[in-house]
Amino acid sequence: MSKPVSTFDCSGYAQGIAQVLSLKEADLPRYLHGTGLPPEVLYDGSGLHMDVTQFLTVIRNGQQLLGDPEMGLRCGQNLQRSVHGPIGYLAMNAPDLYTALLTPAEFAPIRLPLVNTELSFTQDELRCELQVMPKVESEVQQLILEAFALTVQTNVELYLGEAMASARFEFAFPSPAHAAAYADYFHCPVTFDAACSALFLPAEVARRSHPNRDPHAYATAHALCQELLARLPDASLDIVDKVRRELLSNALSETSEEDVARALFVSKRTLARRLTERGTSYRTVRESLLAELSARYLRDDSMTVEAIALLLGYHDAANFRRAFKRWHRVAPAEFRKRFS
């Protein structure tokens, strides 16, 4: 199993899970077994930190300690929003639900680097794909997806102020033995054995704004997240984040895979291998970034489709329109109309 490289402090999540599982002081050594960390790491203000590899060990220990197949569901339902830090605050004050769901991907390196979301439109729905880092054993991946999905459900319902009964979840794993318990946790239909794990929302729901959102709070939280992102040391970024940073720092139309590899002091073959280890490729990372930026720019009515196409390196607006429809399953004009 490849070791995820990150200086992200997971101790807040580990502490939250321990509280959800009602662990006692005597349980903590078993909970932290194999991490090399003392119980103090779970207390606020200890100054100790837990990396991603240690956090995965804690998850496995929790499974063995609790012996409860619903552990992922319990954690996802009961984790407090405070463990998400400024990312959660930013999402809750976003101008619309689509932007709120886009937030985790925008500031991926400063949140828990085990999960990610990828948004796209399919017909009249918004698909929010739930992704877990690759090469994690299936039992742990399922637990993380269950918890992640319920966290997304909680945040969406807090944003909307109502249950998301019109949505549905699809999971890529087989129906688990405790599938009957899903009805106690999820507020919408759930199916299994899907092509990918995702939340599907009606498009009109995705463009709703929070009736009580605070634009000033959003601007403040966004600035804080940008500051935290800028302060991250290079070693805390994984290869996908580094490629995204290089692409954002240069003209996308003029930056090749060879250019990115050279900037990262590796060969093109090494770059491709490292991206493959993360379950992706240079083309996929670049396309995902283009899709994300194009959606963001289209929400600015002052920019024409032709200007956005040029900004993203498309000298022919028709080619950009075709690419956008491939990414979002809807034409740019229709996308802009939905979010106007």
Q: What is the largest CA-CA distance in the chain?
A: 65
Q: Quickly state the pLDDT bin for 234 (edges 50, 70, 90).
A: low
Nearest to 203 by CA among 296, 120, 129, 130: 120
| Cα(269)–Cα(266) distance, integer angstroms | 8
Question: For residues 93 and 215, is the Cβ–Cβ distance under 8 A?
Answer: yes
Q: State residue 11's pLDDT score.
A: 84
Question: pLDDT tens across 65-97, in order?
Answer: 888 899 999 999 887 655 566 777 788 888 889
Q: Where along the chain do its domains lie?
A: 11-67, 82-206, 238-338
Question: pLDDT tens across 137-171, in order?
Answer: 999 999 999 999 998 998 899 888 889 999 999 99
Question: pLDDT tens across 84-135, in order?
Answer: 667 777 888 888 898 888 887 777 666 667 888 888 887 789 999 998 876 7
pLDDT at 269 over 90: yes
CA dihedral 15, 16, 21, 24 (to 10 degrees): 40
Assigned fold of 238-338: Arc Repressor Mutant, subunit A (1.10.10)
The two three-digit tokens of residue 99, written as one number: 């932007």
Q: State residue 192's pLDDT score.
A: 98
The helix/strand/coil state of 11 is: helix
Average pLDDT over residues 310-326: 88
* DSSP letter for each residue of 118-148: EEEEETTEEEEEEEE-SS--HHHHHHHHHHH
* Neighbour tally for 180: CB within 10 Å: 9
